[in-house]
Amino acid sequence: MGTFSVAHGDLLDYATDGHFDVIIHGCNCFCTMGGGIAASISARFPAALKVDRGTTMGDKSKLGSYTSATIDIDSTTKTGRTAFVIVNAYTQYMCSPTKEVPIPCDYDAIDKVMTRINHDFAGKSIGLPQLGAGLAGGDWTKIEEIIRKRLTACDVTIVLFQAS
């Protein structure tokens, strides 16, 4: 049985300091990674953008799936971790709200991808932002409920952004 906690700070700094085996962020299906934490991830860790762009742009069947990239980190971290995995979770189809789709966040996709991640990364320490609740416009209370329900085999930390 995993744990669930909340921390304040920068998810990417926590990851490079060796705090997590895996970090997850929400992506759209258009291979952009141009806003929110995705933009920071793509700028700091180009391998995550590369695997995203290795998929078909605009492919709706990506919803509920993910791509991943392993990032090597300094072996002198306090935790002894030498790498972490970035998971690009396809949790929304569109990049931003439209008249037809005012809330791009797809709760079914979040549920499906969290179920897969729980299986594929069981026993791992996972960090994530308030995925789906920023630019995607989702209801964090509902998203957190899905995460708690699905990531039961992982140690989960929600990192609320706080600039250092």
* CA pair distance 32, 95, nearest whole angstrom: 8
pLDDT at residue 23 in the model:
99
**Distances 27 to 41, 86, 129 between C-alpha atoms, Å:** 11, 12, 12
3-state SS of 41-90?
A: HHHHCHHHHHHHHCCCCCCHHHCCCEEEEEEECCCCCCCCCCEEEEEEEE
pLDDT at residue 102 in the model:
64
pLDDT at residue 16 in the model:
95
DSSP secondary structure letter of residue 134: S
- Identify the three-state secondary structure at position 31: coil
pLDDT at residue 164 in the model:
66
Residue-level pLDDT, tens digit, the chain, 164 residues? 689 999 999 999 999 999 999 999 999 999 999 888 999 999 999 999 999 999 999 999 999 999 999 999 987 777 888 999 999 999 999 877 677 766 789 999 999 999 999 999 999 999 999 999 988 889 999 999 999 999 999 999 999 988 76
* CA pair distance 29, 32, nearest whole angstrom: 8
- For residue 59 the two structure tokens come to 């492919």
Domains by residue range for the chain, with CATH: 4-161 (3.40.220.10)
- For residue 159 the two structure tokens come to 């990192």
pLDDT at residue 94 in the model:
83
pLDDT at residue 79 in the model:
83
